[in-house]
Homo-oligomer: A and B are copies of this chain.
Amino acid sequence: MTQSASNRIKLHNNGPEFSKLAAGFWRLNEWDMSTAELIDFIENCLEMGITTMDHADIYGDYQNEGIFGEALKKRPDLREKMEIVSKCGICLPVESRPEHKLQHYNTTAEHIRKSVENSLKELNTDYLDLILIHRPDPLMDASEMADIFMKLHEEGKIKHVGVSNFTTSQFQLFQSKLDLPLVTNQVECSLLHLHAIYDGTFDQCQENNISPMLWSPFAGGQLFNGSGKRIKRIRKVGKKLCRKYDVEFDQLSLAWCFYLPFNPLTILGTGKKARVKKAANALNIKLERQDWFRLLEASRGEPVP
C-alpha cells in the first residue's frame, strides 16, 4: 500500500510541503549500496510517498551526501520528485577534515556558506529545500547566521531555513533576527525520549504553526533491543497493542509519534525496503487516544497526574 497525498504536510504556512515520513541517510555509507541499488531504494521511497530526504554535511563522516549525489547524477529526473534537507554547523575531527582538531561547532557566515555550497556540490543539486543549523552553537551570532541564510536564500541555494536540537530560547533568538520563518525544529522524540513534549519545544512549534521533525523515533533501536525496566514496560504494553491493531512494534512506535497534535514529521534511518514499507503503512494506523496514553504511562512508569 502506498501513501496518499494526504500524508504530506506543509511545515509552515510559508514553508515547504514534505512527506510525513522522511528517509534519513545518516547511515547511508553503512548500507553498502551500489549507485544502482541506491537509485532503486530512492525510487521505492518515492513510490511509498516518502519524498523527503534527510541529510547533513557530516553524515557518514562527510561522505553520505556524495554517495547520494551519485544517484542524482545518474538520475537527475529524480531531483524534482523529492525534497532535500541538509544541515550544517557541526565540525567533526575526521581524516578528511584534518583542520578539525576536536568536535566543535562553527556557525559563522563563512562556514555556513562553505558547508551549504559543498552540500550542493556533493548532492549534485542546485538547491536545498531546507537547511538546518544542526546543533545550537554557544558561539552563534544569530544576526550573522540570519544574514548568510538570507543571502543563500536570495541566491536560490536554499529554499527554507530551520533548526535542529534548539531549545525554545535559542529558537526564539534566531527567529527574532531572521526575516524568513524557521519552518521546523528537528528534535529527538520517541517513546524513550519525551523531553520535547514537556520542555516547551513542541509547545513552541504548535504556537508558531510549524511541524517539528522527529529524529530517532525508535530511540536508535533501543525500543527493540534495549534492556531495562522502562523498555520492558513499554514493550509489554506495546505487544498487547500490536495484537489489537494487527501491526508490528516499529509501526506502533511510529503511530505513537504521528498521534502528537502538531503534525510532526518522522525520520526513518533504514536502508531496507521492507522496513520502509512497514513504516509507510504505519501512517494508516488509527490509534486510539487511550492507547496513546497507555504507551506514555509505560514510558513514564506511572499514570499521568
Contacts and interface: CB of A to CB of B under 8 A. Distances in A.
B206 A139 contact: no
Contact of A169 (B102, B141, B203, B261): B203
A142 B103 contact: no
Contacts of A235: none
Nearest to A305: B135
Nearest to A140: B261
Q: Of A172, A261, A303, which is in contact with the most chain B CB atoms at under 10 Å from its CB?
A: A261
A117 to B, nearest CB: 20
Contacts of A100: 290
Q: Of A165, A203, A204, A290, which is in contact with the most chain B CB atoms at under 10 Å from its CB?
A: A203
Contacts of A203: 167, 169-170, 172-173
A167 B200 contact: yes
A173 B206 contact: yes
A58 to B, nearest CB: 12
Nearest to A288: B101
A207 interface: yes
B206 A104 contact: no
Interface in A80-124: 100-106, 108
B290 A101 contact: yes
A138 B197 contact: yes
Interface string A243-266: 000000000000000011110000
Interface string A272-305: 0000000000000000011011101100000111
A167 B135 CA distance: 23
A35 interface: no
A270 interface: no
